[in-house]
A and B are shown apart, each in its own frame.
Chain A
Amino acid sequence: MELLKAGMAGTVESGDILVEVEKTGASGVEIALDSTVMGLYGRQIREVIEKTVAECGVSGVKVTASDKGALDCTIRARVKTAILRACDSSDYGWTVK
């Protein structure tokens, strides 16, 4: 998939995460994270974002995330949705884990 424009998903409600993705010139994933649970979970949230971006098969992405204590499943869903929106894709690949 390729990012065509900026994409956004999520909210700034408690328990959610607002994720914005945009294309960068460079390769790799750049993450700007702000979280209410930064000290306890900042590292893990970054890992989840990185892993989700990789699973979507995109690179050269900047992810700006404002987290209000979202669980990992929420973070994955928001990142994935933001990327799909940026790619104008509806290939959600619904599965049940």
Chain B
Amino acid sequence: MKNAIGHELSPELMKSLGLQLHETAEKKDTATLQERLQHNGKLMPSLEDAIRAAGLKDGMTVSFHHHFRDGDYVLNNVVATISKMGYKDITVASSSLSNAHGPLVQYIKDGTVTALQSSGCRGKLADAISKCEVELKQPVIFRSHGGRAAAIANGSLHIDIAFLGVASCDALGNASGTNAEGESMCGSLGYARVDARYADKVVLLTERLAAYPNLPASIPATDVDYVVKVDAIGDSSKISSGATRYTKNPRDLMIAETAAKAIMASGYFKDGFSIQTGSGGAALAVTRFIEGEMGEKGITADFALGGITSQIVKLHEQGLVKKVLDVQGFDGEAARSIRDNANHVEIDGNQYASPFNEGSAIHQLDVVILSALEIDTQFNVNVLTGSDGIIRGAIGGHPDTAACAALTVIVSPLIRGRIPCMVDHVGCLITEGSVCDVLVTDVGIAVNPNRPEVEQRLRAAGLNIKTIQQLRDEAYAVVGKPDALAFGDKVVAVVTDPKGKALDVIYNVKA
């Protein structure tokens, strides 16, 4: 076999090297940039066309991101279209599911969707799953954010087609969560970037087709197969709601202030430290109570990590936090800042929380403040199921960060209404007690017995230290000792640990 200049390319040699022989290209495309943008092979006239082009088949796994949280339109829109086109037996693997996703109930009932994987689930969909009002072919698999990113990267969660809503992208797929105006600006696309990189096919949905090149991009065009313009991808005003709200609740603020004091006394509040505040009013508000002390003592943080709020942005813009590592924006300020501040950096789910690589940011974390729905006397934390046993939360980065931070602080009120937050045994195991160091409540602080040095420092600072059993007893003294819930015998969900190993199961509740 001779090539164009007469050199022999032996088929045996090429075969032994695993190389195919070059084929001369067809006539090259000589259209102009503007002409090509009009006629490229990626921009699809409709979502149906994109779904067909991406090769969706019954039984496949499709994925979504939850950067719009309760304001997401993309998942419902895509699943409704898939249903209308007649596909069945689809697995929906979203980075999380929120109150916005109640419509999935009908697409599970009509057989379009038969399996779910997510970080969490809330509202009507979660109710239907917990009460066995919908039938899935297997239990829901819940993963942490780090666990999901790692599972996608190592192939244990294989995504056939990712459908990702982006604030803007060009006709080739250079996509941004921030280069846009108003409603559709969600900020970081950290979780979506993992899907874009590893999914077999990637379809972007955008309401704003930007001029080429739409750079800097969160998702590069080389990770994208198809682009569709749609009317709306989400309502960013709903990002900062529920768990990501800016709290004015006095009890939340009191807990946050106490947590800030505990952190300042813990031995980890030093120049060059690193910090993450998890979702939940009190946890996010801790930032507001360490700000003054940082300024006074000349302490700056080398980085703040995670879901990013206006409260973190404020510290960054005051020079108190050098770098902001942002996997997910919790409000409009975070979205603006990632666009405008060079040291507010977008990171993907694996850079954030891969359990398998010491280079992920959680491994460099000094302090993390996390919320809880329930804590038991072994310091185990539940953030997924409610006191009635019904799924109503999300794992998020809870176990990822708790396991890696040098100091893991859990914040929770003693009781919520008549519901005790300190219990004998959590209803669902999400984060193991051995990694939860300090519990801050509105009536006192408990320190894990495996961190006696931290307890000593908090006592020396004059903080009100109790045992976790005392806190449980105080809760029960007010609301009474709860009876055990009656569960059914069907496993409706499985909880995995960050490395993807089974940690707990969730049974159906008796309706």
Assess whether B486 is in contact with A44, with CB atoms less than 8 Å apart.
Answer: no
Is A34 located at the chain interface by the 8 A CB criterion?
A: no
- Per-residue 0/1 for A41-79: is the Cβ within 8 Å of any B Cβ (1 yes, 0 no)? 111100000000000000000000000111110000000
Task: State the total of A-B contacts with C-beta under 8 angstroms.
Answer: 43
* Interface magnitude class on chain B: 10 to 19
Point out the residues of chain B lying under 8 angstroms from A69, CB to CB. Answer: 417-419
Assess whether B419 is in contact with A39, with CB atoms less than 8 Å apart.
Answer: no
Point out the residues of chain A lying under 8 angstroms from B417, CB to CB. Answer: 14-15, 36-37, 68-69
Point out the residues of chain B lying under 8 angstroms from A68, CB to CB. Answer: 417
Point out the residues of chain B lying under 8 angstroms from A26, CB to CB. Answer: none
- Per-residue 0/1 for B466-508: is the Cβ within 8 Å of any A Cβ (1 yes, 0 no)? 0000000000001110110110000000000000000000000
Point out the residues of chain A lying under 8 angstroms from B509, CB to CB. Answer: 39
Is A96 located at the chain interface by the 8 A CB criterion?
A: no
Chain A: minimal CB distance from B420 (Å): 8
Assess whether B483 is in contact with A71, with CB atoms less than 8 Å apart.
Answer: no
Main secondary structure of the interface of B (DSSP, over half): loop
A14 CA to B478 CA in the complex, in Å? 16
Chain B: minimal CB distance from A28 (Å): 23
A positions within 8 Å CB-CB of B: 14-15, 36-44, 68-72
Chain B: minimal CB distance from A27 (Å): 28
A14 CA to B416 CA in the complex, in Å? 10
Point out the residues of chain A lying under 8 angstroms from B478, CB to CB. Answer: 71
Assess whether B479 is in contact with A71, with CB atoms less than 8 Å apart.
Answer: yes
Assess whether A41 is in contact with B418, with CB atoms less than 8 Å apart.
Answer: yes
Is B311 located at the chain interface by the 8 A CB criterion?
A: no
Assess whether B418 is in contact with A37, with CB atoms less than 8 Å apart.
Answer: yes
A85 CA to B389 CA in the complex, in Å? 37
Chain B: minimal CB distance from A18 (Å): 15
Q: With A39-B388, A39-B389 as known contacts, state yes or no: A70 contacts B418, CB within 8 Å.
A: yes
A39 CA to B419 CA in the complex, in Å? 11
- 13 A-B pairs in the complex with CB atoms less than 8 angstroms apart: A15-B417, A37-B387, A37-B417, A37-B482, A38-B388, A39-B387, A39-B483, A39-B485, A39-B486, A41-B483, A71-B478, A71-B479, A72-B480
Point out the residues of chain B lying under 8 angstroms from A71, CB to CB. Answer: 418, 478-479
Point out the residues of chain A lying under 8 angstroms from B483, CB to CB. Answer: 39-44
Point out the residues of chain A lying under 8 angstroms from B388, CB to CB. Answer: 37-40
